[in-house]
Homo-oligomer: A and B are copies of this chain.
Amino acid sequence: MNRQWLYAKQPQGKIGPDTFQWTETAIPEPRDGEALVRTRMLSLDPANRAWMMGKTYRDALEPGQVMSGFAIGEVVDSKTGGLKAGDIVEGDWGWQDYAAMPARRLTRRTTKAPLELLIGPLSVTGLTAYFGLLNIGQPKPGDTVLVSAAAGAVGTMVGQIAKLAGCRVVGTAGGQDKCDWLVRKLGFDAAVDYKAGGVFRALRAACPDGIDVYFDNTGGPVLEAALSLMNLRGRIVCCGNVSQYDVEKPAPGPMAVPGLVVTKRLRMEGFIVMDFYDQRAEAEAKLARWVEEGKIKAIVDVVDGLDKAPQALIGLFEGRNKGKMAVRV
């Protein structure tokens, strides 16, 4: 049998168990040009929720379809020349045990590393942090880099890469526990609990020389505060808007746009990790080396069992995870 989670209906406000529906169906047969993939690990990402809101960089999810999501799996049957049984592949085939996928929608992974690393730190998550920070943020040694959702999948990587680039690194996270963890375990110079209130004052104290690069995963009040603290010609890497995904009605945008963008000559720039996939091989090799040498700690929060996927995604929006949230299938 092929166990599946369907996307059942668009949430009004927060996602809940009834956003998804469990079903079981026959294992599909691959057609010519396709491979049958068995899921080994699912990636849970804030973007999963954003796809429910409407068209983004991809079409909106439609109720009734298999819930979309990035995954790692093993080819069990192949009718395409480029892939054979046993190959490890990644792609977006969603929350199910098996999928018959056209070869062009699969990427074969050759980097030797545990699946826990291949699902995040050495794939979408790590590459998002790497390309966003280095290609768009362009930090210089001595710069102050702020990253929001710093204890999350992308944030943990951004902070550590920024440290390797010689920057002073400050993060925001929900709760004092996570903040302490960022400083003690990941080497952040400071961390601010955005749930404690007074986020502007706390960030001002944590960034006495202002902010040169803000890696924005959240939007919302942290973006607003960061705009006020940015230095002349600062760069804001627009990566996500997670504070506004799991809500009934998105909040107004930052007042400081465009006023402070003009007066401080800021650059705000959005990106999607795929924009830089022509540089993927080099970036992935570098990330793998950093992880192997212990220069970067790859933080993965693995939940066991496809049946747990909805609760895990709900937990992600409640801030329960540290690092990459993944489901082992």
Q: Point out residues on A near B: beta carbons under 8 Å.
A: 56-57, 216, 219, 223, 236, 238-241, 244, 250, 252-272, 275
Contacts and interface: CB of A to CB of B under 8 A. Distances in A.
B272 A269 contact: no
A225 B223 CA distance: 21
Number of copies: 2
A257 to B, nearest CB: 4
Contacts of A238: 258, 261-262, 266
Contacts of A241: 258-259, 262
Contacts of A240: 258, 262
A254 B255 contact: no
A57 B232 CA distance: 9
B250 A253 contact: no
Nearest to A268: B268
A263 B270 CA distance: 7
Contact of A258 (B56, B216, B266): B216
Contact of A267 (B56, B263, B268): B268
Of the candidates A252, A256, A261, the one having the most CB atoms from chain B within 10 angstroms of its own CB is A261
Of the candidates A223, A255, A262, A269, the one having the most CB atoms from chain B within 10 angstroms of its own CB is A262
Contacts of A270: 258, 260-267
6 nearest A-B pairs in the assembled complex, by CB-CB distance? A252-B252, A253-B253, A262-B270, A261-B270, A56-B263, A238-B258
A265 B128 CA distance: 13
A273 to B, nearest CB: 11
Contacts of A250: 255, 259
A285 B257 CA distance: 33
20 contacts: A219-B257, A219-B258, A219-B259, A223-B258, A236-B258, A238-B261, A240-B262, A241-B258, A250-B259, A252-B252, A252-B253, A253-B253, A253-B254, A253-B258, A258-B270, A263-B270, A263-B272, A265-B270, A265-B275, A269-B269
A162 B56 CA distance: 29
Nearest to A223: B258
A253 B257 contact: yes
A230 to B, nearest CB: 10
Of the candidates A236, A252, A257, A263, the one having the most CB atoms from chain B within 10 angstroms of its own CB is A257
Nearest to A260: B270
Given A57-B263, A262-B271, 5 more contacts: A223-B258, A252-B252, A252-B253, A253-B258, A267-B269
